[in-house]
Each structure stands twice: as C-alpha cells, then as structure tokens.
Structure 1
C-alpha cells in the first residue's frame, strides 16, 4: 500500500488502515480517487482520472502533493498539475488552485503545510501561501500570504492570527 495514501486515509477517516479500510475504499469515491492519484502514472491511472473528472469534477493530477491530503465534499475540485501542495492540506468543494498564463504572476501556486482552502475559493498565479493559513470560502487569492493568516473575501484581506487553522485541520500526520 502506498505510504502517502495511508496518510491521506488517516486524515480522511481518523483510523489506521485495516480490513475496514478496504471496504471503505470500495464504498467511498473520495478515498478511491485519493488512492488513484497516489499511484504512479500509467495509462490506466489516466483513464480512471479522466473518468472521475467527468463524473465528480475532481481534477487533482499534481504529483507535488504532500502527505495527508484531505478532500472535503469531493466535487468540482480543480488543481493545476504544476501546483505544489504541502502536508496536511484540506481542499473543499468547488475550490480551484490554478495557473496564471501571463503577467508578473505567471505560474501555479505553492501551498505550505496545514493550509485549509474553503468552498468555492480561488487561488491563482505564481504565489506562495505560508504554513497555517486558512483561506475562507469564496475568497480570491492572487497574492502571497504570510504564515499564520486568514484570508477573507474578494479582493482578499489578510488577518494575522496564530493557530489560524486550529480546529479545521484534524488528524494531522
């Protein structure tokens, strides 16, 4: 079993892998998708990833994802393949981590450790999101965010706060 998937499984369920884990893998499409993206690239992986993209709107094909990825309400989540995601990151329904194709922020975002990305929020461009950052639902972020911060609204407003993701990031690895 892939070690990164085992970390993801623990973040998603709060339990260590066992016999029940196998049955949960069969029942829950979000766990199956995490298992799929943690496998090495093959034509079969690509086929099933495209199928999941059509069925659930999950497009997370980056190989630069740290351990402990949590997908909350797994529908319509888009992550550019060039995006780098740190450990213990939460991605919620409708969020987009996208690439900017021109201008001074051309490129894809880099997320630090313990980042919570809220529902329908957009993080775009060659920007750096620090560790322990909470990006509120419906926020638009196209600027660098320092560590221990909360980002609210559109345009995004930064609020400094120690332990910004306390209570949001659970079962850390």
Structure 2
C-alpha cells in the first residue's frame, strides 16, 4: 500500500490552473499553439516549465539552450526553495499587477518575472562557488531583459517587478519578502567604496518608478518610496518618502503598501 501511494502524482492546484489556462489559450489563439505547448503543455510541473523558459530566453551562440536548461534543472534539484520562491513571485504578480489576468502570463510574457527567476538560479550558483556561471547568467539577464541584478545580491520571495526596464540591484543589496518595485529602480552604491555598500530593503516595501536608493542604508518594513525619489538616508518603517533628496512626507498609508500598490502621496480630497 505504501508503495502504491508513493507512485500517486502529487496534486498541484497552481500548475493545474496554469495548464488549464494554457489549453484555453491554444483553443482561443491556435497560431501560438506551438509556443504554448513548448513552454507549458509539454511539461509536467512548474519547475520543468520554468527551466525550459529560462533556458529559451538565456541561450546564445556562446551557451546552448540544452546546457542552460541542465544548469537550471540541477539548481532546482539542489535547492527546492528556488521553485518555492518562483511560486510566491508568480502569485505576487498575479495579485498585484492589474494587467495580469492569468497565472500563465508571467511565465510566458512578463520579463520582470522571468528575470527574477533567472537571477535566482544565478544566485544559487554564486552561493555554490560557481562564480563565472553566475556572472554569465547575470550578463544574459541584463542583455535580454534590461535587468541587471548582481548574483551576490539577496532577494526574498513574493517579489513583483512591474515593467522591469532598467532595473539595477547591486552586489551587497538585500531585498526582503513581498517587495514591489516598478521600472528604472536602482539599488546602488554612492561611489567606489567596497565591502557592504548597497541598500537593505525591508519586507513589504513599495518602490516607485525611477526611484534610486543609494548606499548602505536601511529602508524599513512596509514603507513607500515615491516615484523619481533619490533616497540617501535611512527610511523608518511604515513611512512614505519623496523628493531629491528624499524626505519623509507622511505615513505609508496602509499596512502592506507593496500589496496595495497605492502610489498616491495624499488621498483624494473629499468632494464638496
């Protein structure tokens, strides 16, 4: 009886939903059937689909798709937390991005989601001492997606990077769980200093488009950084900062700004 149970396929509601969405997409748009079959329906699990998708995007004349796919699959097998984080990121995008109507979309179309999953593989390689492989992943992610995340950076789960154009995250940066950021965000240094020189972003932080957070400073949990701000000093938890240089302009406005995605600095005035 135990042996029979071990052979039963594990139930995965998330993957089941993605597969069902893929079948419907093929029915509705037959011309992309081959693409959706290759990326989703030919695979039995989300990790296999992701390994294929990452490899398809990062492969080049310098490293074949088969080799990249082997690297990704070996990383997933060695560290299952990579797949767990990919699931959390997928749900984050689905729940926070009003343009995301299906779990299928980030895997197929959203470069922010794809870039973060590729970074996670590069970070795993970095922690295992495979520095040149990690640098190769970083290079390809930057070239293909316009997202430059150093493989040594530490990024939590439940991450949503919307639009994901011109994202830069430096070597000693730390990003907590359930963080949302928009395009053109930089988590960088302030000069040629070495050692620990990049920002530490707390859990649940919302970072607006074009914001720059520079130096080894801490941004507190559940805070908000307004679009276009330049943050050079520590941000307390649950506050909103704005401006160049950024200053505290009020409270964060809610318990989880990264989930609400509310970028308004002040509430709308009541109608007269």
TM-score between both structures, scaled by the size of structure 2: 0.54
Q: 1:58 aligns with which of 141, 147, 161?
A: 147
- Name the structure with the higher helix share: 2
Structure with bigger gyration radius: 2
User: Do the aligned partners of 1:134 and 1:164 also contact (CA within 8 Å) in 2?
Assistant: no
1:77 matches 2:159: no
> SS of the residue aligned with 2:241?
strand
**C-alpha deviation, 1:30, in angstroms:** 2.6
Of the three residues 114, 117, 124, the one matched with 1:32 is: 114
Within the candidate set 78, 89, 93, 1:8 is matched to 89
Contact 1:11/1:68 (<8 A) preserved: yes
Q: Matched residues in 2 for 1:65 and 1:81: separation?
A: 11
How far is 1:5 from its partner? 1.1
Any conservation in 1 of the 2:223–2:252 contact (CA below 8 Å)? no
Displacement of 1:112 in angstroms is: 0.6
Is 2:219 the counterpart of 1:138? no
1:153 is matched with: 243
Q: Which runs of 5+ in 1 are unaligned?
A: none
Task: Tell me which residue corresponds to 2:206.
Answer: 116
Tell me if structure 1 keeps the 8 A contact 2:154–2:173: yes
TM-score by length of 1: 0.81
- Report how many aligned residue pairs link the two structures: 165
Deviations 1:94-131 (A, max 9, x none): 1100023468xx71111111111111111001111101
- Render the CA deviation track for 1:54-103: whole Å, top value 9, x for unaligned: 23320123441111111011110000021011111112111100023468
**How many Å apart are 1:50 and its aligned residue?**
1.4
Aligned Cα root-mean-square deviation (Å) = 2.7
Higher relative contact order (CA 8 A, sep 6+): 1
